[in-house]
Amino acid sequence: MVAVTESGLLVPVAESASLRNTVTYAVEHALDHADEDGSSASIHFVYPLPERVSYVDRSGRTDAAESLLDRVASWAEEDAGDADLTVETALIATHVYLSTPGDYADVLVRYAEREGLDRAMFDPRYDPIGSTPLLPSLEAEVRRAGLDVDEAPVSAEQQQSQLVRSGTLTQFFTLFAASFLFYLVLAGSLKAFELATGAISAGIVAVSLWRVSLTSSVDPLRTVKRLARFVLYVPFLLWEIAKANFQIAYIVLHPALPIQPKTVEFDAAVWSSLPVTTLANSITLTPGTLTVDVERSHLVVHSLTASAREDLFAGTLERAVRFVFYGRAAARIPSPIERRESEEGEE
C-alpha cells in the first residue's frame, strides 16, 4: 500500500446530542474511503469558536471547546481501534466574528484548503448559532466551494425526535392563525375583502417564516397555559415597572444623585431562548437594573443602586418568569443568592 495521497475528512463539531454517533460514522467513512483509494485516513475535527468581544469568561469557553475536542479525539481513536487513522483537532475562527451560515462555511472551507481536505462530514444536529436552523444552508455553501459533503445518519434513538417534525404542521398553522388574527385585528372588519387579503398575507408569512420563527414544536395546551399565566404576569410586571419609575425619578431628581452603579453577572435558572428573553427584558424594565448582555442563560446586568442588586438576586422576577413558562412547581427553585450560597458552601 503506497500512501502518497492523503484525503482528509473535515468534521465541524459542537456540543450536540448526536455527536458521539457522528464521530463513529465519520471514522468508518474515513477508513472506508482510505481503503478504496489506498490513501492514509485522516480526520480533522474543528470547532469554530468565533470572536465575541463582550465575552468576559473567554478562557472558560476556550477550555470547554478544547475539552470537547479532546473528548472527540479520544472517541475517534477508540472507534478506529487498530486501524491507521490520523486524528487532528483544531479551534478555528478564534479571531473573527461569525454570524451567517456563509461566514461559517467560509472559515470551514479556508481550513479545508489549508489542510488539503476534500471532504466534509456534518453532524445532523450541528447548530453552532443555536437559534435558527443553519445546517442546510451551511452544507450548501460548503458544497459549492467544491468539497464532498456528507451528513451522518440519525440513529434510531434520534429518529424519535425526528418524528416530532410532523408537529411542524401544527407550527405552520399556529403561525398562520396568529398572523391571520393579527391582520383581522388591524383591519377591524370581517368583510370578504379583508378575509381574503388577510389569508393571503398570513399564508405568505407562514410559508416564508414557519421554519424560522417557531423553532420548537407547538403544544397547544401548554401554549394556552403559558398565555394564561402570562396574563397573570403582566400586572405584576406593570407594578414592578411603576415602582421602578418612581425609584428612578427619585434618584434622578435627588440633588446628591445617590447611585452606586455596578455590573453583576449571574446564571439565570431559565432554559430556553424565549424565557431568557422575557427575563432579560423584564430585568431591564424593573427597578435599577439593565440587562447588558446575554449568552444563553448567562446574564450580565448593570445595576444602578445596591438595593436594586439585592432585589435582582432575591430572584422574584426570575421566579415569576419560571412560573409563566414552566408552571408553579418550577417557581420554587432557589433564588440566585441561595444558589450562590449553596455553591460556596460546597466548595
Interface with another protein, residue 272, by CB under 8 A: no
Question: Quick check: 131 binds another protein (CB under 8 A)?
Answer: no
Residue 235 interacts with another protein (CB under 8 A)?
Answer: no
**Residue 242: which residues within 8 A CB-CB, separation 6 or more?**
none
Does residue 186 belong to the site contacting another protein (CB under 8 A)?
yes
Number of shown-chain residues binding another protein (CB under 8 A): 32
How far is Cα 2 from Cα 329, in angstroms, rounded to an integer?
Answer: 65
Give the Cβ contact number of residue 246 at 10 Å: 10
Closest contact distance (angstroms) between CB of 244 and another protein is 5
- Give 33 or 302: the residue with its C-beta nearer to another protein: 302
Shortest distance, CB of residue 282 to another protein, whole angstroms?
8
Burial annotation 268-297 (CB, 10 A radius, 16+ → b, else e)? bbbeeeebbebbbebbebbbbbbbebbbeb
C-alpha cell belonging to residue 104: 461559517
Q: Do 149 and 109 form a contact (C-beta atoms < 8 A)?
A: no
Contact between 276 and another protein per CB under 8 A:
no
In our burial notation (b when 16+ CB lie closer than 10 A, e otherwise), range 308-342 reads: bbebbbebebbbbbbbbbbeeebbebebbeebeee
Q: Which is nearer to another protein, 135 or 248 (CB)?
A: 248
Question: Are residues 288 and 303 in contact, defined by beta-carbon separation less than 8 angstroms?
Answer: yes
| 185 is a contact residue toward another protein (CB under 8 A) | yes
- Residue 235 CB, shortest distance to another protein, in Å, is 13
Residue 200 in the binding site for another protein (CB under 8 A): no
Stretch that binds another protein, among 68-76, 209-217, 253-261, 333-341 (CB under 8 A): 253-261
User: Nearest approach, Cβ of 156 to another protein (angstroms)?
Assistant: 42
C-beta of 292 vs 314, nearer to another protein: 292
Find the binder of another protein among 30, 109, 276, 280 (CB under 8 A).
280
Short-list 136, 127, 34, 138, CA closest to 86: 34
Task: Rule CB under 8 A: say whether 253 interacts with another protein.
Answer: yes
- State how far the Cα of 284 lies from the Cα of 300, in Å rounded to an integer: 11
Per-residue contact track with another protein, 295 to 334, x per CB under 8 A?
A: -----x-x-x------------------------------
**Binding test (CB under 8 A) with another protein, winner from 67, 74, 216, 245:** 245
Q: Which stretch binds another protein (CB under 8 A): 144-152, 183-191, 268-276, 337-345?
A: 183-191
Closest residue by Cα to residue 319 from 289, 295, 339: 339
Does residue 290 touch another protein according to CB under 8 A?
yes
Per the listing, cell 420554587 goes with 332
The nearest distance, CB 258 to another protein, in angstroms, is 10
Q: Is 257 in the site for another protein (CB under 8 A)?
A: yes
263 lies in the site for another protein, by CB under 8 A: yes
Strands ordered across the beta sheet of 262-267: 262-267, 298-303, 289-295
Amino acid code (one letter) for 292: V
Residue closer to another protein by CB (options 187, 199) is 187
* Residue 190 burial class via C-beta count within 10 angstroms: exposed 0-12, middle 13-18, buried 19 and up: exposed
